[in-house]
Amino acid sequence: MSFMEEFDHLKIKLQDIISATNNFGRNNLIGHGGFGQVYKGELVLPNGPTMVAFKRLDRKLGQGNIEFYKEILMLSKYKHENLVSLMHFCIQDDEMILVYEHASRGSLDRYLGDASLTWSQRLKICVGVASGLSYLHDPTETHQRLIHRDIKSANILLDDNWKAKVSDFGLSKAGPANQMQTFLFSNAVGTPGYCDPLYFETGFLSKESDVYSFGVVLFEVMCGRLCYEYRNGHLTEILVHKWRRCYEENRLDEIILRGLKEQMESGSFSTFSHIAYRCVSKAREERPTMDEVLKELEIALEQQEVYKNLEMKVDIQEMIKIADQAIAPLSYETQEQLFRLFLKGIFVDDGTTWLSINKNGEICEMISATKCVSWGERYASEDSRFFNVVMCSYNGFKVKVCTQFLSPNVTYTINLVFRISFENYEVQKAIGTYVSCTYKLEEETHYLNSSNATMREDGWLVIPLYRFISYQKKYDFNISIFPLLLNWPDTQCSIESIEFRPTDTVTHENLEHNYMEDMQTTSASRINWEQKLPNDYTDLIKWSTYSIQWTTKKELYFLLRKGFLIDNGEKWLSISKSMKKRLMIPAMEFLPEEKWIRKSLPESRFKVVAESPDTDEFRIAFKIESKLLSPQTTYSCHLIYKPPENYSLIEGPIALINQSFRYPRSLYLIIPHITNIRPMFDHKSDKQLNTDKVKGHPKVRKDGWMEVQLWEDKIDSTGNIGMDLSLNGMDIDGDYNFVGLVLQGIELRPL
pLDDT (tens digit per residue) in 227-240:
999 888 788 899 99
Check residue 523 and give its pLDDT. 46
Check residue 680 and give its pLDDT. 41
Report the alpha-carbon distance of residue 731 to residue 484 in Å, rounded: 12
Annotated binding site for ATP: 55
CB-neighbour burial class of residue 548 (10 A; exposed 0-12, middle 13-18, buried 19+): middle
Q: Which residue has the higher pLDDT, 417 or 732?
A: 417
Report the alpha-carbon distance of residue 395 to residue 306 in Å, rounded: 44
pLDDT greater than 50 at residue 486: no
Report the alpha-carbon distance of residue 139 to residue 207 in Å, rounded: 12
> Range with the lowest mean pLDDT among 73-87, 361-375, 608-622, 672-686?
672-686
Give residue-wise pLDDT tens across range 472-485.
999 999 999 887 65
Report the alpha-carbon distance of residue 53 to residue 43 in Å, rounded: 10
Report the alpha-carbon distance of residue 123 to residue 131 in Å, rounded: 12
Check residue 93 and give its pLDDT. 87
pLDDT greater than 80 at residue 652: no
CATH topology of domain 106-308: Transferase(Phosphotransferase); domain 1 (1.10.510)
Domain ranges in the chain are 2-101, 106-308, 329-502, 576-750
Per DSSP, the three-state class of 294 is helix
Report the alpha-carbon distance of residue 128 to residue 81 in Å, rounded: 8
> Range with the lowest mean pLDDT among 183-187, 417-421, 522-526, 607-611?
522-526
Among 108-117, 181-190, 302-311, 572-581, top mean pLDDT goes to 108-117
Element (H, E) at 448: strand 448-449
Q: Of 499, 548, 215, which Cα lies nearest the Cα of 369?
A: 499
Q: Which residue has the higher pLDDT, 394 or 636?
A: 636
Report the alpha-carbon distance of residue 345 to residue 460 in Å, rounded: 18
Tell me the mean pLDDT in the region 159-164.
94
Q: Which residue has the higher pLDDT, 382 or 182?
A: 382
The answer to whether the 329-502 and 576-750 domains have the same CATH topology is yes
pLDDT greater than 70 at residue 692: no
Tell me the mean pLDDT in the region 603-613.
93
How would residue 152 be classed by pLDDT, with cut points 50, 70 and 90?
A: very high
3-state secondary structure 309-378: HHHHHCCHHHHHHHHCCCCCCCCCCCHHHHHHHHHHCEEEHHHCEEEEECCCCCEEEEEEHHHHECCCEE
Among 276-280, 600-604, 688-692, top mean pLDDT goes to 276-280
Cβ proximity of 688 and 681 under 8 Å? yes
Report the alpha-carbon distance of residue 100 to residue 55 in Å, rounded: 8
CB atoms within 10 A of CB 188: 17
Q: How many helices (H) and strands (E) does the chain have?
A: 16, 41
Q: Which residue has the higher pLDDT, 705 or 62?
A: 705
Alpha helices in 495-639 (DSSP H): 515-522, 529-532, 537-543, 553-562
Cβ proximity of 424 and 536 under 8 Å? no
Percentage of the chain beyond pLDDT 90 is 45
pLDDT greater than 80 at residue 433: no
pLDDT greater than 70 at residue 506: no
Per DSSP, the three-state class of 703 is coil
Per DSSP, the three-state class of 70 is helix
User: What mean pLDDT value characterizes the chain?
Assistant: 84
Residue type, 187: N
Any residues with CB less than 8 A from the CB of 215 and at least 6 apart, and which? 276, 277, 278, 279, 280, 287
Q: How much is the CA Rg of the chain, to the nearest whole Å?
A: 30
Check residue 243 and give its pLDDT. 97
CA distances for 85 relative to 46, 78, 389, 682, angstroms: 17, 9, 61, 53
Tell me the mean pLDDT in the region 716-728.
76
> Range with the lowest mean pLDDT among 85-89, 419-423, 556-560?
419-423
Among 588-597, 610-619, 627-636, top mean pLDDT goes to 610-619
How would residue 686 be classed by pLDDT, with cut points 50, 70 and 90?
A: very low
Check residue 511 and give its pLDDT. 46
> Range with the lowest mean pLDDT among 13-27, 474-488, 592-606?
474-488
Q: Of how many residues is the chain composed?
A: 751
Annotated binding site: 55
Report the alpha-carbon distance of residue 218 to residue 247 in Å, rounded: 13
Check residue 396 and give its pLDDT. 80
Residue type, 557: Y
Alpha helices in 408-499 (DSSP H): 425-431
pTM for the model: 0.74
Check residue 679 and give its pLDDT. 45
Check residue 451 and give its pLDDT. 74
Q: What is the separation, in whole angstroms, between the first and last Cα of the chain?
A: 43
pLDDT greater than 70 at residue 649: yes
pLDDT greater than 70 at residue 288: yes
Q: Of 495, 500, 501, which Cα lies nearest the Cα of 399?
A: 495
Tell whether domain 329-502 is in CATH 2.60.120.260: yes
Alpha helices in 553-667 (DSSP H): 553-562
DSSP 613: -
CA distances for 86 relative to 73, 82, 118, 343, angstroms: 10, 12, 29, 45
Cβ proximity of 526 and 48 under 8 Å? yes
How would residue 434 be classed by pLDDT, with cut points 50, 70 and 90?
A: low
pLDDT greater than 70 at residue 691: no
CB atoms within 10 A of CB 193: 18
CATH number belonging to domain 576-750? 2.60.120.260
Percentage of the chain beyond pLDDT 70 is 84
Q: Which residue has the higher pLDDT, 130 or 569?
A: 130
Q: Of 550, 548, 590, which Cα lies nearest the Cα of 571?
A: 590
Q: What are phi and psi of 251, to 5 degrees?
A: -120, 30
Tell me the mean pLDDT in the region 195-214.
91
Write the class of the CATH domain 2-101. Answer: alpha beta
pLDDT greater than 80 at residue 583: yes
Check residue 32 and give its pLDDT. 79
Q: Of 349, 328, 351, which Cα lies nearest the Cα of 341?
A: 328
Residue type, 421: S
Tell me the mean pLDDT in the region 652-658.
78
Q: Of 358, 122, 291, 102, which Cα lies nearest the Cα of 221?
A: 122
User: For 276, left (φ over 0), alpha (ψ -120 to 50), or beta?
Assistant: alpha
CA 88 to chain centre: 33
Q: Which residue has the higher pLDDT, 365 or 461?
A: 365
Q: Of 750, 745, 695, 742, which Cα lies nearest the Cα of 510?
A: 750
Tell me the mean pLDDT in the region 35-39.
86
pLDDT greater than 50 at residue 542: yes
Give residue-wise pLDDT tens across range 672-682.
777 777 644 44
pLDDT greater than 90 at residue 374: no
Q: What are phi and psi of 44, to 5 degrees?
A: -90, 105
